[in-house]
């Protein structure tokens, strides 16, 4: 196997990140390029302006090309937004030869996919949780096992068709070929979790600018997804209202001096707040800034708690919660999350970033890096979303095989 280039495109509410990685003959994945550009065409994770989003993607991709020296043609793109849904399903098939083959597995996943979903939703993923062979539960690697009746328990993730199409339209306008569309927090999880955490039970909470995305894994399998329409933009807006300053100034103040709550900053520290118009800047106490952020941080974490309770897996999170996304950098957030959620919490930064750890190793790149790791894991291995071959394609395959 020769070296292979994998490209992940994270089209976020505040930025577009394009991550280029190289997979060597030994299977090792190394990030070799990163492009980032501010985005303005999305609201709460969803494309609302094609023109503006296309421009942001173009810039991020060009930057990643310059850094990596690789021409980018094909990308795997992430999607999120409150339109994302998840549901459990299952499928049953009879094995063809009293032994489970790869083809039987593909058929049973296809059967599990046959569930009623709203007409305006598209299936993004069919994620296998476990297989049952002749009543024997808890099988993870069914291929090669003896049995007649193969059952699959899966979690299906769907997204609004229009949101998927608009995202793909932006990519195509940049001359990019979209290989796959992947749920963003599934990619983030790929970048920040260890296998052990997935086994023990863990939630990844990606707090970005427009949304807070949450996924749950237990016993190594994907269980639950929820996308909450709140994020770092709300914190910035609260500062704009509370300080009567511009969005740009509020954003800078938040990143430079913000904290989840006053207890995490020095009460004697003073900071300078720019005013709007030509009024002179004012001085204020840094803990007063944290005071303005505190209620919203609490609200976001309460919503996370509610979602985890709704998932039915809250009591099973032995490895706790891993926070990622740009807002995870807010000082005091981990402590406040531990307080509100009552489980252990850590910040997850992307792994496998090799020589680019200083730039790509920040939590806001978890999704972008995760998209390449997700490709590396699924490509060549069992695909999580087998698509049914069309009849003419089957005929063609049959015909060309016969002819060989
Ligand atoms: N040091 C920091 N402290 C607090 N917030 C921060 C810090 N650094 C970045 N942020 C916030 O993180 C957010 C951006 O995070 P991220 O890049 O993960 O979002 P995104 O992927 O663009 O958005 P989304 O995933 O919601 O569509 C912004 O709201 C930004 O203000
Ligand atoms: Mg994001």
Is there an atom of ligand 1 within 6 Å of 201 CB?
no
Architecture of domain 85-158: 2-Layer Sandwich (3.30)
**Is pLDDT at 383 greater than 70 in this prediction?**
no
For residue 180, what are the contacts with CB-CB under 8 A and spacing of at least 6?
76, 77, 375, 385
Residues 188 and 198: their CA atoms lie apart, in Å, by 13
Ligand nearest to the CA of 36: 1
**Helices 232-243 and 286-311, packing angle to 10 deg:** 150
Residue 341 Cβ inside 6 Å of ligand 1? The answer reads: no
Query: How do residues 205-262 score in pLDDT, each as one tens digit?
Result: 999 999 999 999 999 999 999 999 999 999 999 999 999 999 999 999 999 999 999 9
Q: How far is CA 171 from CA 18, 24, 84, 375, 391, in A?
A: 12, 27, 20, 18, 29
What is the mean predicted confidence (pLDDT) over 304-324?
98
> The tokens 């639950």 sit on which residue?
224
If one residue of 327, 366, 368 were mutated to test the ligand 1 pocket, choosing by the most ligand atoms within 8 A of its CB, it would be 327
Structure confidence at residue 394 as a pLDDT band (50, 70, 90): low
Confidence of residue 387 (pLDDT cuts 50, 70, 90): very low
* pLDDT score of 296 more than 90: yes
Strand order in the sheet with 221-228: 221-228, 212-218, 202-207, 321-324, 345-347
Q: Which residue has the higher pLDDT, 121 or 359?
A: 121
Angle between helices 333-341 and 286-311 (to 10 degrees): 40
Check whether 268 has a pLDDT greater than 60: yes
Q: Contact 126/109 with Cβ under 8 angstroms?
A: yes
Is residue 390 predicted with pLDDT exceeding 80? no
Buried-exposed string 81-98: b where 16+ CB fall within 10 A, e elsewhere: bbbbbbeebebebebeee
Write the pLDDT tens digit of every residue in 29-77.
999 999 999 999 999 999 999 999 999 999 999 999 999 999 999 999 9
More confident of the two residues 79 and 382: 79
C-alpha 373/C-alpha 6 separation (Å) is 9
- For the chain, the average pLDDT equals 93
Give the model's confidence band at 10: pLDDT under 50 very low, under 70 low, under 90 confident, else very high: very high
Whether residue 338 is predicted with pLDDT greater than 60 in this model: the reply is yes
Q: Tell whether the model's pLDDT for residue 1 goes beyond 70.
A: no
Angle between helices 366-378 and 184-192 (to 10 degrees): 90
Tens-digit pLDDT profile for residues 131-165: 999 999 999 999 999 999 999 999 999 999 999 99
Over residues 289-299, mean pLDDT: 98
For residue 382, give both structure tokens. 């069992």
d(C-alpha 403, C-alpha 400), whole Å: 5
**pLDDT at residue 94 is higher than 80:** yes
Q: What are phi and psi of 351, to 5 degrees?
A: -95, 180
256 Cα nearest atom in ligand 1: 1
């Amino acid at each position: 196997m020769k070296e292979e280039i994998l490209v992940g495109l994270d089209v976020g509410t505040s930025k577009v990140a394009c991550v280029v990685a190289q997979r060597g003959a030994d299977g090792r994945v190394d990030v070799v390029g990163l492009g980032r550009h501010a985005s303005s065409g999305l609201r709460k994770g969803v494309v609302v302006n094609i023109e503006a989003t296309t421009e942001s993607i173009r810039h991020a991709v060009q930057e990643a090309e310059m850094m990596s020296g690789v021409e980018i043609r094909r990308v795997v793109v992430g999607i999120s937004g409150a339109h994302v849904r998840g549901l459990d399903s299952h499928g049953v098939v009879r094995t063809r030869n009293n032994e489970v083959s790869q083809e039987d597995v593909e058929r049973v996943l296809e059967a599990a996919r046959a569930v009623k979903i709203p007409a305006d939703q598209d299936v993004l993923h069919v994620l296998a949780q476990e297989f049952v062979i002749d009543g024997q539960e808890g099988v993870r690697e069914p291929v090669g096992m003896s049995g007649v009746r193969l059952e699959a328990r899966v979690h299906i993730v769907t997204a609004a068709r229009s949101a998927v199409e608009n995202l793909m339209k932006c990519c195509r306008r940049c001359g990019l070929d979209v290989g796959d569309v992947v749920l963003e927090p599934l990619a983030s999880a790929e970048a920040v979790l260890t296998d052990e955490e997935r086994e023990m039970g863990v939630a990844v909470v990606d707090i970005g600018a427009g949304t807070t995305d949450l996924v749950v894994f237990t016993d190594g399998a994907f269980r639950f997804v929820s996308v909450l329409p709140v994020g770092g933009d709300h914190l910035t807006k609260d500062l704009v209202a509370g300080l009567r300053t511009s969005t740009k100034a509020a954003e800078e103040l938040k990143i430079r001096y913000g904290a989840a709550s006053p207890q995490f900053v020095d009460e004697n520290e003073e900071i300078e707040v720019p005013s709007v118009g030509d009024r002179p800047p004012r001085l204020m106490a840094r803990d007063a800034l944290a005071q303005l952020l505190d209620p919203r941080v609490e609200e976001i974490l309460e919503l996370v708690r509610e979602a985890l309770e709704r998932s039915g897996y809250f009591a099973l999170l032995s490895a706790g919660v891993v926070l990622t996304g740009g807002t995870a950098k807010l000082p005091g957030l981990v402590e406040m999350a531990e307080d509100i959620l009552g489980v252990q919490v850590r910040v997850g930064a992307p792994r496998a970033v090799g020589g680019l750890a200083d730039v790509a190793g920040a939590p806001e790149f978890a999704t972008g890096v995760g998209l390449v790791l997700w490709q590396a894991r699924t490509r060549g291995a069992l695909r999580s979303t087998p698509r049914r071959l069309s009849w003419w394609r089957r005929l063609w395959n049959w015909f060309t095989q016969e002819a060989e």
